[in-house]
Amino acid sequence: MNRREFITLVGSAAMTCPLTAVAQETDRVRRIGVLVGSEEVEIAGRLLVFRNALRDRGWIEGRNVQINIRSGAGDASTISTAAHELVALKSDVILASSGAVMGRLLQATRSVPIVFVVVPDPVGSGFVKSLSHPGGNATGFMQFEYSLSGKWLELLKEIAPSITRAAIFWDPNLAAGVGQFAVIQSVAPSLGMEVFPVELHDAAATERSLTTMAHSGNGGLIITASSILTHTDRDLIVGLAAEHKLPAVYPNRRFIELGGLMSYAADFNDQYRRAAEYIDRIFKGEKPADLPVQAPTKYELVVNLKTAKALGLTVPQSILARADEVIE
């Protein structure tokens, strides 16, 4: 998706918001900056949820709040430029989507309040001092709790009981990567599984690792959270998993929409909704330093039955009964 299409899609989503809230009285228009790491289709839907949640609290775009959106287009230099732009626009608060943008934002400002969403391990990454007392100008919502990582391996074994080995693809640029693998590794013996860490670097390395796992037999994949996976990378991984008949569990539903087998992740729409609540509280005088970082409260399991059939798998009723969405 190019930038023009992204802006058009986000703008169109904004125009579809119903006027369901009565604007609260304010003495000035508040400015909200929004910085997303890349121009993804799902971002428009999440921003619509965010806008609606603001309106429910009386913050109506064009009346008492102005929203300025910038995309980093998946590029560190572009993210940095966008972060400084939002600070220069005198944003009263900035919504930061993903860990990829948080470091750059904190380099751009240590005074403008920041509410983040979909950020793995904000303490380990140095974004906040602690979850209960962030202590600086940023707070928000974690992408996952580490226990989630063990669930990925459990689900993989449940949907494909014959597998005994799993390659765990992780992002060495994320502080959370080592922790995620450690949790998966701790669960593996109880499931009769061997697990192997594979760093996500480039397409060629990914293809080699997937091919090796396929040739070794009885293998599966887990793709953990990453700040570097692009739409192209996702297409490649999903395509190679299908080509080599490898069952895989993914870190978000976008992979499943592209043909992946199964994902289990936090409900990111819910995080955008809750971010609006935090921004409302900041507008009313509370400080990010005093607002605790929150773990996800809602998770979603998505399964692709067509892909399961192509892999020769029968999805257990135990999974279907828990699934939030089944793609056929």
Question: How confident is residue 230, by pLDDT bands cut at 50, 70 and 90?
Answer: low
> Taking the model in full, what pTM does it have?
0.84
Give the strand pairing for 30-36 and 93-97. Answer: parallel
The β-bridge partners of 168 are: 197, 222
pLDDT of 14: 47
Short-list 195, 183, 199, CA closest to 157: 195
CATH class label, 147-266+300-327: alpha beta
In terms of C-beta density within 10 A (0-12 exposed, 13-18 middle, 19 or more buried), how is residue 130 classed?
Answer: exposed
- Would you say the CATH fold of 147-266+300-327 matches that of 3-142+267-297? yes
Buried-state track 207-229, b at ≥16 Cβ within 10 A, e below 16: bebbeebbeeeebbbbbbbbbeb
Question: Does residue 19 register a pLDDT over 50?
Answer: no
**In the 8-state DSSP scheme, what is residue 150?**
H
Q: Domain 3-142+267-297 sits in which CATH superfamily? A: Response regulator (3.40.50.2300)
**Residue 16 in this model has a pLDDT that exceeds 60:** no
Report the alpha-carbon distance of residue 85 to residue 91 in Å, rounded: 9
Residue keyed to tokens 């040739």: 215
Phi-psi region of 135 (alpha: psi -120 to 50; beta: other; left: phi over 0): left
pLDDT above 60 (res 49)? yes
Query: Domain segments of the chain: what residues?
Result: 3-142+267-297, 147-266+300-327
pLDDT digits (tens, 9 = 90+) for 80-124: 999 999 999 999 999 999 888 999 999 999 999 999 999 988 998
